[in-house]
């Protein structure tokens, strides 16, 4: 079950695997002068 935090809408998504991303801190200081980072320090991609 997933819930949209903006609308409160709930839906059931079937998945064989899940990646939990909670409380992470990016370690990107060493690439800050080479790659574009967002305000949180994460590498922008896509």
Return the structure tokens found at 23: 């409380």
Half-sphere exposure of 27 (CA within 13 A, CB side): 0
Number of domains present in the structure of the chain: 1
- Classify each residue of 15-46 as buried b or exposed e, where b means 16 or more C-beta atoms within 10 Å of its C-beta: eeeeeeeeeeeeeeeeeeeeeeeeeeeeeeee
Question: Model-level pTM?
Answer: 0.48
pLDDT in tens, 13-24: 999 998 887 888
Which residues span the domain enclosing 38? 1-46
Question: Can you list the residues of the chain whose pLDDT is less than 70?
Answer: none
């Amino acid at each position: 079950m997933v819930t949209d935090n903006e609308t409160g809408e709930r839906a059931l998504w079937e998945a064989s695997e899940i990646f939990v991303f909670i409380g992470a801190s990016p370690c990107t200081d060493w690439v800050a002068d080479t790659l574009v980072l967002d305000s949180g320090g994460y590498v922008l991609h896509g």
